[in-house]
Amino acid sequence: MAVPKRRMSRANTHARRSQWKATAPTLITCPNRACGQQTLPHIACPSCGTYKGRQVTSAV
């Protein structure tokens, strides 16, 4: 495994880390018409428990 030869300066470390940014997650509107909540894509809707039109978990 490659190993850094020299310790990176604090300024360089901070300059790199200053580019880290949190991004807001992509949200979709639940396709269940009775629900319509904003949810994460590719997971069962946490509020109505459906995925691809099927009930996969119990609704909260």
Q: Which residues bind Zn ion (CB under 5 A)?
A: 30, 32, 35, 37, 45, 47-48
Q: Quick one: 13 or 31, whose CB is closer to Zn ion?
A: 31
Q: Quick one: 4 or 41, whose CB is closer to Zn ion?
A: 41
Compute the distance between CA of residue 21 and CA of residue 33 in angstroms, rounded to an integer.
Answer: 34
Q: How far is the CB of 25 from Zn ion (least distance, A)?
A: 16
* Tokens of residue 12, six digits: 């360089």
Q: Quick one: 15 or 28, whose CB is closer to Zn ion?
A: 28
Beta-bridge partner residues of 29 = 38
CB 37 within 8 A of CB 47: yes
